[in-house]
């Protein structure tokens, strides 16, 4: 598998672009378009929040077909909690896009991110879609990625290439964070495109598996948004033999897809609002992977653990306290905790000054690993999070102003 330069890659049959349409006040890009030259298999994963934004409601109906050809997305306005007018606006946004691209309206998927409540400024959307359609480019991915940013500090892209069944297949994606990040998804948009030929059901299965180990294994602040959506389009332009379940070609494709979703998911965490640390938390020694993930996620969500990480303080007592309240089957007297390679807790007790010093040194790095071994079973899971800094509070105290 070859990792591509995110500045200049292309995916056969796809074009993308992003522009400033005027939704955002600050002149930054706010409208992205992705277009395939042919109808594609399309799979998606959406927020499990009971309050779903209008574009999510629209996409959830359209995706039943398993097909699609374009994605239009805006930032600066979530089009959530906007009632019937919001739903009509999402539909109109798709209609405008279909007209500009000369495709069926049903083949257009819509995504929005930004403040909840306000209605979309439809005249701006119409002008913006027209502008973006005119600028679509095979290498316009960075522009598209910039146009879906909200509080993100940088655009998020990933692209890999692999020989599959004698053909060159590319899998690439863009994503945005960076608050409200938590499984099941986040205020998180992610669009993955590939030129692989794959049926809608097989694509859906591959995407679900990929999301479990990537976007559903990260948390920034424990919030699940109304707008979360991951869409994956596969247009078959690579000309490969259709990827079949159980085959080694599908396995190769899955590895590519996993590389892209994991890269994007970890980028979302690295760029978590106010983050100064990227933290990998592994819980092992549980009876099931699910239990391990639940415990790891409890640690990853703890505000006290996250503030200690921000303070570069090896306060393992807080980790132990979270494990204890998480509901995981554990026994304090069997629990080991590592920070980096330092075994700071052995069988429930502090290891001593030397381990403390080693852990303190590990915490000075931007990337930090926390490992917990509960010694109760043979399963484990890894999740990713960031620290909780003053900057997070400042960003979110002033978000709408």
Query: Contact residues for its own copies (CB under 8 A)?
Result: 48-52, 78, 80-83, 115-118, 179-180, 221-226, 301-304, 307-308, 310-311, 313, 315-318, 320-325, 327, 330, 332-333, 345, 348-350, 388-390, 392-401
CB of 232 to its own copies, least distance (A): 23
CB of 78 to its own copies, least distance (A): 7
Q: Which is nearer to its own copies, 164 or 314 (CB)?
A: 314
CA 367 vs CA 263, 278, 294, 298, 386: distances in Å: 15, 5, 22, 19, 9
CB of 157 to its own copies, least distance (A): 26
CB of 374 to its own copies, least distance (A): 11
Q: Is 187 a catalytic residue?
A: yes
CB of 307 to its own copies, least distance (A): 4
CB of 56 to its own copies, least distance (A): 11
Q: Which is nearer to its own copies, 78 or 198 (CB)?
A: 78
Q: What are phi and psi of 366, to 5 degrees?
A: -70, -35
Q: Which is nearer to its own copies, 144 or 328 (CB)?
A: 328
CA–CA dist 343, 352 (Å, integer): 10
Q: Which residues pair with residue 91 across a beta bridge?
A: none
Q: Which is nearer to its own copies, 52 or 270 (CB)?
A: 52
Helix (H, G, I), strand (E, B) or coil at 385: strand
Q: Which is nearer to its own copies, 137 or 303 (CB)?
A: 303
Q: Are 47 and 185 in contact (CB under 8 A)?
A: yes
Q: Angle CA(345)–CA(350)–CA(355) in degrees, nearest 5?
A: 70
**Closest among 181, 143, 156 to 267, alpha carbons compared:** 156
Q: Which residues pair with residue 2 across a beta bridge?
A: 161
CA–CA dist 325, 305 (Å, integer): 13
Indicate if the alpha-carbon torsion angle 84, 88, 89, 91 is positive or negative. Answer: positive
CA–CA dist 182, 292 (Å, integer): 17
CB of 131 to its own copies, least distance (A): 28
Catalytic residue among 187, 286, 335, 385: 187
Tokens read off for 61: 């109906």
Q: Which is nearer to its own copies, 37 or 223 (CB)?
A: 223
Tokens read off for 196: 């692989």
Q: Which is nearer to its own copies, 15 or 52 (CB)?
A: 52
Indicate if the alpha-carbon torsion angle 310, 230, 253, 196 is positive or negative. Answer: negative
CA 71 vs CA 44, 67, 233, 330: distances in Å: 12, 12, 9, 46
Residue 370: count of CB within 10 angstroms of its CB: 26
**DSSP E strands: which ranges in 105-259?**
108-113, 156-164, 167-176, 189-194, 218-219, 229-234
Q: Is omega for the bond preceding 89 within 30 degrees of 0, making it cis? A: no
Owner of token pair 């000369």: 102
Q: Are 47 and 226 in contact (CB under 8 A)?
A: yes
Q: Which is nearer to its own copies, 280 or 346 (CB)?
A: 346
Residues with a catalytic annotation lie at: 187
């Amino acid at each position: 598998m070859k990792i591509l330069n995110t500045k200049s890659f292309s995916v056969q049959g796809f074009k993308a672009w992003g522009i400033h349409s005027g939704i955002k006040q600050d002149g930054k890009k706010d409208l992205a378009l992705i277009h395939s030259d042919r109808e594609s298999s399309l799979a998606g994963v959406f927020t499990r929040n009971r309050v779903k934004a209008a574009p999510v409601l629209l996409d959830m109906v359209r995706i039943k077909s398993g097909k699609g050809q374009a994605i239009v997305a805006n930032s600066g306005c979530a089009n959530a909690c906007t009632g019937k007018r919001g739903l009509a606006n999402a539909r109109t946004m798709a209609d405008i896009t279909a007209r500009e691209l000369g495709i069926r309206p049903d083949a257009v998927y819509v995504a929005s991110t930004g403040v909840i409540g306000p209605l979309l400024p439809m005249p701006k959307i119409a002008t913006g879609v027209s502008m973006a359609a005119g600028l679509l480019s095979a290498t316009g991915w960075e522009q598209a990625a910039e146009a879906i940013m909200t509080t993100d500090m940088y655009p998020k892209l990933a692209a890999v290439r692999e020989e599959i069944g004698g053909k060159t297949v590319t899998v690439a994606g863009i994503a945005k964070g960076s608050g409200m990040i938590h499984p099941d998804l986040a205020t998180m948009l992610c669009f993955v495109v590939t030129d692989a030929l794959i049926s809608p059901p097989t694509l859906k299965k591959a995407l679900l598996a990929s999301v479990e180990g990537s976007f559903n294994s990260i948390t920034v602040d424990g919030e699940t948004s109304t707008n979360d959506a991951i869409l994956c389009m596969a247009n078959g332009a690579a000309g490969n033999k259709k990827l079949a379940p159980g085959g080694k070609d599908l396995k190769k494709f899955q590895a590519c897809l996993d590389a892209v979703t994991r890269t994007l998911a970890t980028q979302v965490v690295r760029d978590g609002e106010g983050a100064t640390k990227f933290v990998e938390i592994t819980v092992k020694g549980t009876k099931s992977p699910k239990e391990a993930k639940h415990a790891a996620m409890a640690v990853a969500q703890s505000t006290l653990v996250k503030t200690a990480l921000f303070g570069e303080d090896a306060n393992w007592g807080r980790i132990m306290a979270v494990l204890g309240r998480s509901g995981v089957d554990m026994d304090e007297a069997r629990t080991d905790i590592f920070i980096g390679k330092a075994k700071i807790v052995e069988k429930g007790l502090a290891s001593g000054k030397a381990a403390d010093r080693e852990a303190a040194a590990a915490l000075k790095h931007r990337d930090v690993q926390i490992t917990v071994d509960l010694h109760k079973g043979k399963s484990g899971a890894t999740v990713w999070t960031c620290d909780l800094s003053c900057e997070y509070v400042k960003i979110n105290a002033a978000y709408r102003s």
